[in-house]
A and B are shown apart, each in its own frame.
Chain A
Amino acid sequence: MSVGLEHYLILSAVLFSIGLYGALAKRNAVVILMCIEIMLNAVNIALVAFSRYVVPVLLTGQIFAIFVMVVAAAEAAVGIAIIIAIYRSRESVDVEKFDLMKW
């Protein structure tokens, strides 16, 4: 069986699940941000695979992937700024100690 759309979708699903596990289970905020980047990349693989195999003429999937990259760049910049701002006041990047907004 030659490589087709399903293989790319399963690769994307595996990457997304690994990223989801890391984002939920890890305590270091920077590692959580890294896992979110893995999840966004997995989504991009699925989009580009759909674009290649389902609508190869329109390329809409690749255009969507570019927008996902823009949002990922903005998210990384703001996320890291938030982490560093919290680190300044709390001296930690452990998310289990981030309880400023708990009542």
Chain B
Amino acid sequence: MFDIVFWILAAVTVGAALAVVFLRDVFRAALCLVFLFFTIAGIYITLHADFLAVVQVLIYVGAISILIIVAIMLTREVWRGSPSGRLRIPALVVGLLLLGMLMFTAMSTKWHISDVPPQEPTTTAIGAGLFGDGGFLLPVEIAAVLLLAAVLGAIVLIREK
């Protein structure tokens, strides 16, 4: 059952990613990207990462996809489609080489698979890991500063001169 769910989700995810890259219509590519974000949330659920699946839907499907669709509408270049540039063949070669290298590494390495069953629910454990003793409190604060800087930077960049 679990295997079938994984294979369906993996096939749909790869198909959606290929559609994002190869569709001519930019707006349809953006809709495929939203679909891809949804299926990746499903993949997180198969990995027992319930909190991350919800965060994926909230941030990617809810916020980033809206941002991208607004950008497509503001730039009014939908009619031009998404053509490939001069680097098409080198990019294909680089992508396939990287894919081969990554697949070889993933297959040939002996991973130390743990026998411990996964935790559920993960929210408490993630909260303790982020804010508890020896956790990631300083990175959380830095992330807050980064988000503030990004918001201010976006406002400054987009302001009418």
Contact = CB atoms under 8 A, between A and B. Distances in A.
A63 B119 contact: no
A21 B91 contact: yes
Interface string A45-62: 100110111111111101
Contacts, number: 242
A75 B67 CA distance: 11
Contact of B98 (A16, A22, A59, A63): A16
A25 B84 CA distance: 5
A84 B88 contact: no
Assign chain B's interface to a size class: 35 or more
Contacts of A22: 20-21
Nearest to A19: B17
Contacts of B18: 18
A44 B49 CA distance: 11
Contacts of B99: 13-14, 16-17
B37 A41 contact: yes
Contact of A77 (B20, B87, B151): B151
Assign chain A's interface to a size class: 35 or more
A59 to B, nearest CB: 5
A24 B75 contact: no
A33 B129 contact: no
Contacts of B83: 26-28
A81 B67 CA distance: 10
Interface string A62-103: 110111011111111110111111010000111110000000
A55 to B, nearest CB: 7
Interface of A: 2-11, 13-22, 24-28, 30-31, 33-35, 37-38, 41, 44-45, 48-49, 51-60, 62-63, 65-67, 69-78, 80-85, 87, 92-96
6 contacts: A13-B99, A19-B21, A24-B87, A26-B21, A30-B77, A55-B114
Given A10-B103, A20-B98, A93-B75, 6 more contacts: A2-B2, A6-B111, A11-B10, A17-B98, A80-B67, A85-B157
